[in-house]
Structures are given as structure tokens and as C-alpha cells.
Amino acid sequence: MKIADKNTKAVDLVREALEKAKEFEDYHCFISMNEARALERAKAIDEKITRGEKVGRLAGVPYALKDNYLSREGVTTAAARMLDNFPSPITATAVAKLEAEGAIMIGRANLDAYAHGSSTENSYFGPSHNAVDFERVPGGSSGGSASAVALGIVQFALGSDTGGSIRQPASYNGVWGMKPTYGTVSRYGVVAMASSTDVMGCFANTADDVDLVMSIMAGKDPKDSTTLDDFWNKELEDAKPKKKKIGIIKDFMGDGVNPEVVNTVKDYAAKMKKAGFEVEEIEMPIMKYGLAIYYIVQPAEVASNLSRYDGVRYGHRAAEITDLDSVYSKTRDEGFMPENKRRIMIGNFVLSSGFFDAYYLKAQKARTLLINAYNEAFEKYDALLCAVAPAPAFKFGEKTNDPLQMYMEDVMSVPPSMAGLPALAAPAGKSKDGLPIGIQLVGPRKSDQMLLNIAKTIAEVK
């Protein structure tokens, strides 16, 4: 990672990033730019270096901020009309930590509105594009962030991952993406989607850069009671695999998975064996229920979290209103995208009287069975290996009108999210058309750095 010092000016790093953002403007990685403020902060860092003052570990490093992180610089839209012009009164804890170390936000990255989607086609401001193939989606919901890193605009970018929103775009664009253990990074100041699975992570071009960024963001936050004590910055010895055994999830290697994806996972497993790991298949039948569990629990939490957007307190308000009922109905009709409305309706249905026990309660019980299955697997294996998604990036419009097909993109990424486990997406190969294919490593809670260490080891195997 290029960091400002006596020989490298922060202003030059920021200008280079801004120029690249303009060069790749057609990819629509960003909703808004932060040019003036970014250059101002870079100049201040250069002056500190000139005076011999201490600067942070990310001094002058430009980054892209997924636009569901609140920051006082610019407006936080969550790519939704509802927050089209919302100036945040606070800064997210993760953002504050990074900027205290000298990182400089050059722009707000595009996403599916409220992070609801797997393609960035649900953004109110229009979709982003895949960094490798302009005609294909970059994945979602953090598509803009992943594309910005893959295009070389920024050295890292922030994302949020509720059911695969970091890992899937990372795989589609050929970069590294980290979904940490639930509670590793504070959720304070991030627009809520599904509070029991939302995690804050990042994209980068190397595992070391991911490690550095995550080590800065991790830690306890008194503003978020779900955060864990800082386990990231522990002794390196504690982050090494102990069993040297990896389980390949057999349930994700069969029908419905692109053969090129299956072969990529097999090739990666072969490299693991060369690196000294024992690799064997493991059957986890509960995995086939993961998607069903997720799309009951997640919409229920979405419906709850989005109930605050009513046109009364903040955000968009419809113009032609006659009474309180029309304030609510018209505002929410105009402010939400179709996918937002779909999830709100599903969520309210599964939470409603008469259906709560049949759907939501049963899904939470199944979620416990899923967690237990993972715990049982980790008694034998250091980590589990599978693909990130069933296929490489798809073309625009291919799945837009078929929500079930779109939801199937998450079939491999949602189970770790429901269990609160760390999951790492690492570049692993390419399809015959040159499209990136990533693998996914899943480990026990707080094994985040171990997953990075395993992946770094495999990356060196020829």
C-alpha cells in the first residue's frame, strides 16, 4: 500500500486517485466525489510530515466509502431516493478510526439502495459496472466499492456485508474481500439493514492491505453494544491454523454450480494440499436451508429498520400530501426502490400475527441448527472452503425481473452470515471468458486473521 512519507506526497496520491476516478467515470463506481475536502486533508498530512510530526498508519491513502456509512463530509444517501440529500450529523466509528490514521475518503461508492441487492442494479442513481467486463454487473450490494478497487482508483474501499455484499462483489471483480466475525467492527453510524447479520469490512488488492485496514477498524465501541473486544491485534501465533485441515463443502459443488467455478475450487484445494493442508469433503445438509432462513430473518429485520423512514423525521417527504396517512404512504412509495418494498412486505408478513410462529420463529430455530452444524465442523477443521457464488458475474438485466434467481446468487454466502462467522473472499481463477472467480474461506468466530494467513500461504503456491 502506498503511504505518504518524505518521498511520497499525500496530495499526489489523492490527485492520482481523483484522476483515475474521472478516467473510469463511465463505470459509475461513485455516487458523489469529495475532491476539495480530500485535497485539503492531504495537504494537511504533507505539512505534518514536513514538520516531522507523527502521522497515521494510513497517511494519505485514498479510499472509497460505501455510501451507507455516515460521514459529515458530503451527504449519506445509501443509494436511495429517501436519503437523496441527507447531511449526516455524525461520523461512523469505522470511518473515524480510519481517518484518525490518515486515510482520505475521495468519494462515496455506489450500492444497491439500502444495500438490498446482489448487482448494484437497485441503486436509485443507476448501476455500477464490473471492472473486468463493462457489460456485466459488479455484484452487490457493495458493487461500487469493489469496482473502484479493481480498477485501481483507490487502494482500499469500505463495504458492508449482510449476506454476501462484500464477498460476492470481490469475487466478481477479482479482489480480496473480508466479512469479519459479527461484532468485530462497530455498526455505529452505518445505515442499518439486518441488524443481526450486518458487518463492516473492506476490499483491497492484497491480503496484507485487508489485514491492515481491518486491524484499524476492529475493536470495542461503547456506542455499539454488539461489538467485541479487539481480538484482531493479537499475537501472530494465535492466528495460525492448528489442525492443518480444511473441509470442502460438498453441498456447494453439485447441481446449479457453474463447472468452471467447481474446477476453480478444486484447483484451490489442490494448492492447499501442496501447502501441507489435509483437504477432504464434508457434507452439511443444513446448507440447503440457509437461503430460506436468510430470506425470512433478513426481511423481518429490514422491515423493522426501514420503518423509521416515514417522511416525518428526516429524509424525503412526498410533495402532494393531504393527511398523515398520505405522508406515510406516498413518501414510502416514492422513497423506496421495488426491492426495498419487496423486502418490507415479506418482512411484515413473516412477523404478522398468525404467521410469526410458522415462519420467523421456525427460521430462527433452523438458524440455531445451522450454527450448531458449523460448530461441529470446526471441531475437526480449521476452515471450510467453497465458492463465493454459483457462477461468475452475470450481464445487466439478466436477473433483474426474477427475484428468486437473484436471491440464488447468495446461496453460498448467506450461511456464514447467519452464523456470525468470518468469511474471506480471495481471487482464485478466471473463467474461459476471463471473468474473475473467487473462493470463500469460512472459519470459527474470531479466526479472521487465520483465514487471511491461510489464503496468503496458498497465494504463494505455484
Which residues are annotated as catalytic? Answer: 66, 141, 165
Q: Is the dihedral of CA 270, 272, 274, 276 positive or negative?
A: negative
Q: Which amino acid is at 146?
A: A
Query: Grid coordinates 469505522 are at which residue?
Result: 94
Is 198 within 8 Å of 187 (Cβ atoms)?
yes
Beta carbons of 202 and 158 less than 8 angstroms apart: yes
Q: Where do we find the cell 413473516?
A: 350
Q: What is the DSSP letter of 386?
A: E
222 contacts: CB under 8 Å, gap ≥ 6: none
Rounded to 5 degrees, φ, ψ at 339 are -70, -35
Q: Alpha helices of 58-166 — where are they, by DSSP H?
A: 93-100, 143-150
Handedness of CA 128, 134, 140, 143 (dihedral sign): negative
Measured distance CA(100)–CA(106) in Å, rounded: 15
The total of other beta-carbon atoms located within 10 Å of residue 168's CB is: 32
